[in-house]
Structure 1
């Protein structure tokens, strides 16, 4: 079965929420719903390096039947 991107939401300390996706190779992108594409990084760790009080909420995983 092919791997797909996994969605997540970042909540920044000021309450801003960014939608994001992590690809099977570990690369991540985030997007502000109003401003458009925001950031790309080689990993979630790199994206969050030095960031304090950022919460990550992962999208639920589903299984096909």
Structure 2
């Protein structure tokens, strides 16, 4: 169940491309996914400064 939830959430993050935000390194943290006792982690990855600014702007707008 945790794995499917993580995959679904990763898909939702990928959908940010629709508002101009692309997270090029978006992935599941493989060691966490394969550990039977751990909740999977989504690795948001590294991004450029313009992408970080877009993410911050989307979050600010969502908070309003």
TM-score, with normalisation over the residues of structure 1? 0.26
Structure ranking higher in helix proportion = 2
Q: Whose strand fraction is larger, Structure 1's or Structure 2's?
A: 1
Larger Rg: 2
